[in-house]
Amino acid sequence: MSAPTTTTTSAPSAERATSGPGRRRYPLPRAMFVTIQSVFLAVIGLIVLVPLLVIFVGTFQDGGEIMRTGLRLGVDVSSLRLDNYVMLLTDSGLYFRWFANSVGLTVVQVAGTLLVSSFVAYGFAMYDFKGKTAAFIAVLLLMTVPFEIMMLPLYVMVNDLGLADSYGVIVIPFLAASVTIFFFRQYFTGIPRELLEAGRVDGVTEFGIFFKVVLPISRPALAAMGILNGMVTWNNFLWPLLVLRSAEKFTLPIGLNTLLTPYGNNYDLLIIGSFFSLLPVLVLFLCFQRFFVAGMTAGALKG
């Protein structure tokens, strides 16, 4: 990169800059620039929310009619009704079962992935050992192999072993997740080695140091990765679709997908159920926005 040369040339000019009058020149007068920028951002920001708005409005409409005429704005307000909410609470079939399955699966997957992936990352971050470079290149390579390529052989393997329709098959292959390992390794390399030495002097085992010294001070990384993995698991579709067979075991995305058939008779549930499946993630996002951003940009942190 050209960074070093630029730094040397910029140092003296930066000093000059602070003493000069206008530090930055804008092509437009400030007030005009700010107005245009604000309007631009506000308009785009609102357009982006339209799909969520229309499905929210859709929860008050007749599902069958939506399937025929589409989701839209400008609905006749007098046609809106609360029937779907009553149906959701009283007669929604397996919906809450699917919801509970998704919650349970997400909790187990996130806890497991955080534990296993941070454990692995610690090995990469804190030790030098034979084969480390090769193993770490494998981590990086796995980050770029799309799951879609693995789905067929994994599916065949699961069928051969008679493991279909079990949650274990959904969870276990993704406990040591390459992106999460990569992120934790970055985080751990920033932890001072003196902390580990102190632990060793106190007679703590290598594993004890990880569990008792390092993990407790890694809360920000755990939060970011917990959020990222939680979001991915909650929305996970393809692999559970291939593995799960019985309707009582379905997760929310799989269950909702079964409602979207040409012969479906429960389009009311499809619309309101889709909307309610978004709420847990949205609520978490509003509470922990910072960690969402950290988690999502995790892969790009390193240039």
**Interface residue with another protein, options 60, 119, 167, 211 (CB under 8 A):** 119
Min dist. Cβ of residue 124 to another protein (A): 7
Min dist. Cβ of residue 127 to another protein (A): 4
Interface with another protein, residue 66, by CB under 8 A: yes
Which of residues 87 and 142 has its CB atom nearest to another protein in the complex?
142
Min dist. Cβ of residue 136 to another protein (A): 6
User: What does the chain come to in residues?
Assistant: 303
Interface with another protein, residue 287, by CB under 8 A: no
Min dist. Cβ of residue 290 to another protein (A): 11
Interface with another protein, residue 289, by CB under 8 A: yes
Q: How far apart are CA 233 and CA 108, in angstroms?
A: 10
Which of residues 89 and 134 has its CB atom nearest to another protein in the complex?
134
What DSSP designation does 212 have? I
Min dist. Cβ of residue 20 to another protein (A): 7
Beta carbons of 253 and 232 less than 8 angstroms apart: no
What DSSP designation does 60 have? T
The CB density around residue 3, as the number of other CB atoms within 10 Å, is: 7
Q: How far apart are CA 205 and CA 5, in angstroms?
A: 47
x-marked contacts with another protein along 73-92 as a string, rule CB under 8 A: xx------------------
Beta carbons of 302 and 179 less than 8 angstroms apart: no
Tokens of 256: 């909702």
Beta-carbon contacts of residue 217 (< 8 Å; ≥ 6 apart): 191, 195
Q: Which stretch binds another protein (CB under 8 A): 62-70, 84-92, 103-111, 212-220?
A: 62-70
**Interface residue with another protein, options 5, 21, 23, 90 (CB under 8 A):** 23
What DSSP designation does 21 have? S
Q: How far apart are CA 297 and CA 288, in angstroms?
A: 15
Which of residues 51 and 104 has its CB atom nearest to another protein in the complex?
51
Q: Smallest Cα–Cα separation from 113: which of 187, 221, 260, 266?
A: 221
Q: How far apart are CA 274 and CA 301, in angstroms?
A: 33
x-marked contacts with another protein along 27-46 as a string, rule CB under 8 A: x--x--xx--xx-xxx-xxx
Q: Which stretch binds another protein (CB under 8 A): 80-88, 89-97, 217-225, 249-257?
A: 249-257
**Interface residue with another protein, options 237, 245, 247, 248 (CB under 8 A):** 237
Min dist. Cβ of residue 90 to another protein (A): 23
